[in-house]
Chains A and B, each alone.
Chain A
Amino acid sequence: MNSNTDISAQTMFTETDIGRQNRFIENIVKIFFLIMTCLMILPLLLIIGYLFYKALPVLSFDFLFTNPIDNMRAGGLWAPFLGTIYLVVVSLLVAAPIGVFSAVYLNEYARDNWFTRIVNLAVVNLAGVPSIVHALFGVGAFVLFAGLGESILAASLTLAIMTLPVIIASTTEALKAVPMSFREACWNLGATRWQTIRRIVLPNSISGILTGVILQVSRAAGETAPIMFTGAVFYKAIAEGNPFAYNIFEQCMALSLHLYTISTQVPDVAEGIPYGTAIVLVGSVLLVNAAAIVLRVYLRTRKRW
């Protein structure tokens, strides 16, 4: 740690005590930080391993495709699983166009002035609003004010607004990565702003946009608080095997809320079922994330600039 400016010229190329000491410290520091990083990674593996190990007895094909039975003490995950898919798809349909257009506006249209700064600040703050406050907003705005009642639509709209910043952030990143010279070349050929965006900017940033959309899916699938009071219910029986069993103006079950319910509200649930639910939830979310990563890596290898 102490200063090593007194290394003289003749000792420069042979290892001095100070040099050895420095190298030693450096190695210690490196190992220390490595351990810190690994201590973060360890829990991830540990948790997934633990959940998987505990869930092993119940995991089967039927677990995913049968309804919960016996007051949710036994049975499978069909109703909550399908409910989560509904919530995610509807929220995606709302959030994706608004998010992508919003990023296009911020990156391609907005000038660098106070108004743009406020818009950016709003995006940052939208991302920072606690999920339970989004839930309150959903109750106030969609369930009560818009008169949608507790429904898949109300819950999805809440989720969409909550996950909007995810799409805006990744799309902005993707648009920024398109070199300015591409746009300039296009403008010089007489293309309008929208033509440039449509033909040059969006095709060249589609990978980043898709990544953002996929991350939105994973985020929306895992959220519990925003849907608790806006459209997800503890229990709702639906037809097994029918993917159109829900109506978007009615309530649905959701995986995340189901996990909360059976692990805290329902006594005497069969041992493996909460773990099975947790691993299905984590598994689907991580799979979706993995898809985003694979897509990103694949498209990066084909990048043309």
Chain B
Amino acid sequence: MKLLHTLFSINGRINRAGWWLLNTPIFLVFTISLITFDFPATEFLEQIQLLILLILACVHIVISAKRWHDKDKSAWWVLFHVIPLIVTVCVIAAKVSSEWWILIHLIAVFNGLWTCFELGIIKGTEGDNPYGPDSETSSESIIDVYISISGISSIIFVFGIFFFVFKEGAGFLFSGLDIWEFLTSEEWYPTSLNNKRYGTFALLLGTFSVTALAMLIAVPFGLGAAIFVSEFCSPKLKETFKIVIEFLAAIPSVVWGFIGLTLMNQLIIQVFNAPIGLTMLNGGIMLALMSVPIIVSIAEDALKAVPDSYREAAEALGATRWQVIYRVLLPAAKNGLLAAVLLGAARSIGETMAVLMATGHSVNIPNSPLSWIRTLTATIAAELGEVARGGEHYQVLFIIGILLFTITFVVNLIADLVIKGIRQS
């Protein structure tokens, strides 16, 4: 409510800093929307842009009115610079004949300069005035606006992601796509001329099998490393290990894919005597290496969260370190460890470049770790560049995106609830 009061109520005062803080971005947005006027945009977009500009104009007027209050003048003074502005905009929009061009622009420039000088540079009255006390003139309310908007931006972005991905795929999702076939058929022939099939079962299976394999490798190592770092390490060694884990987490996924393509490929060919090394095993190892840092850091946090008194009590009873870990720590931290595994799995499911490059990328129901597979993410990455915008195939790729979003959303939600569960108990 305070936010709305700041932005849309002319009551109160504001100082020069506040006026600039709010108006600079507004000016910027107006300038940018003038520059980007030529960009190909839909009619719907133009309406939204117009709406946003209108709201911003209102905010500008409100804030200027408050600034006049600060100078102990009536808010009606706003009209002195708003009316010329409106006239200018109308005249420009109406494309009046060119003799008036210079005069109109001169008025606009003079009006802008005068506004900036009058409202942005000249100080308000000292102390309280009829429009509000001096203490209210600080620009803090404007900063609060920015901080609040940033704070809720994550929500906006999450909804935005869902909305835009959904928007692109919705047409085909509700008319034409057989959802049952989409989820259970293993026939993925999106480019076939007369027999198009959009079955993602093989892709789903590919994603889940490679994730399962990755977790099979990563979970023991990740938890083992977390236990070692949290329970056996000296502080200095701990710091070193943490840095190494941070480095491991920082290696870009395309580099992991490249390693899979070159080093791991040759290794698998030689060790398993396989014809080609770009297999589920290859992708699984790459994903394991990528998700291990997440598992280690979250599992270590979970172990650290177990109170020291538990350890002391167990050791006082004569338990060895291993018994402490096995009987006390693991049960006490099991929720956090579960969350670590879930988040590691979510990372694996969402990973794109590494699996695109390392798993062979061929639609196939896997029957062994040495068979090649294809995942949901890799399919989008490989095919989105080649499809016609708006076509069925294009929309199906966005529907796969919705599927991926939903899967990771659910996994993350469960992990979050599991972690919250520990904090509350």
Contacts and interface: CB of A to CB of B under 8 A. Distances in A.
Interface stretch (A71-79, A178-186, A237-245, A259-267): A259-267
Interface in A15-30: 22-23, 25-26, 29-30
A104 B39 contact: no
B225 A218 contact: no
B78 interface: no
9 contacts: A33-B228, A39-B221, A40-B221, A51-B259, A100-B150, A141-B164, A225-B377, A263-B262, A274-B262
B251 interface: yes
A130 B398 contact: no
Given A36-B228, A43-B289, A136 B401 contact: yes
B317 A5 contact: yes
B336 interface: no
Interface in B347-369: 347, 349-353, 357
A189 interface: no
A277 to B, nearest CB: 9
A97 interface: yes
Contact of B381 (A43, A194, A218, A225): A225
Contacts of B182: none
A5 B252 contact: no
Nearest to B38: A147
A128 B352 contact: no
A222 B251 contact: yes
Contacts of A44: 244, 247-248, 251
Contacts of B158: 122, 125-126, 129
Contacts of A119: 151-152, 154-155
Contacts of A25: 320, 322
B26 interface: no
A60 to B, nearest CB: 21
A218 B227 CA distance: 28
Contacts of B245: 40
A230 to B, nearest CB: 11
B268 to A, nearest CB: 15
B148 interface: yes
A200 interface: no
Given A260-B257, A289-B250, A130 B350 contact: yes
B146 A125 contact: no
A192 B147 CA distance: 15
Contacts of B398: 136, 140
B150 A101 contact: yes
B101 interface: no
B164 A131 contact: no
A229 B384 contact: yes
A98 B150 contact: yes
A130 B263 contact: no
Interface in A114-135: 118-119, 121-126, 128-135
A41 interface: yes
A131 B259 contact: no
B346 interface: yes
A133 B144 CA distance: 32
Contacts of B377: 130, 132, 225
Nearest to B142: A194
A30 to B, nearest CB: 5
Interface string A1-18: 100110100000000000
A286 B250 contact: yes
A282 interface: yes
Given A30-B228, A224-B352, 18 more contacts: A5-B318, A33-B225, A36-B228, A123-B154, A125-B408, A128-B343, A128-B346, A130-B377, A132-B350, A132-B401, A133-B161, A133-B165, A133-B401, A145-B42, A263-B262, A281-B252, A282-B251, A289-B250
Contacts of B189: none
Residue among A33, A109, A192 facing the most chain B CB atoms (10 A cut-off): A33
A260 B385 contact: no
Interface of B: 36, 39-42, 45, 138, 140, 143-144, 146-148, 150-155, 157-158, 160-161, 164-165, 167-168, 220-222, 224-225, 227-229, 232, 241, 243-248, 250-255, 257-259, 261-263, 289, 292, 296, 317-323, 325, 343, 346-347, 349-353, 357, 377, 380-381, 384-385, 389, 397-398, 401, 404-405, 408-409, 411-413, 416
A133 B225 contact: no
A153 to B, nearest CB: 10
B407 to A, nearest CB: 9
B140 A285 contact: no
Contacts of B384: 135-136, 139, 228-229
Contacts of A199: none
Contact of A132 (B224, B232, B352, B416): B352
A188 to B, nearest CB: 18
Contact of A274 (B39, B220, B258): B258
B254 A260 contact: yes
A118 B155 contact: yes
Given A30-B232, A128-B411, A281 B255 contact: yes
A41 to B, nearest CB: 5
B258 A168 contact: no
Residue among A23, A29, A221 facing the most chain B CB atoms (10 A cut-off): A29
B255 A164 contact: no
Contact of B168 (A139, A192, A195): A139
Contact of A36 (B148, B221, B247, B412): B221
A129 B225 contact: no
A187 interface: no
A32 interface: yes
A285 B252 contact: yes
Nearest to B250: A289
B224 A7 contact: no
Contacts of A100: 150
Given A126-B158, A260-B357, A282 B255 contact: yes
Nearest to B225: A37
Contact of B224 (A33, A140, A144, A278): A33
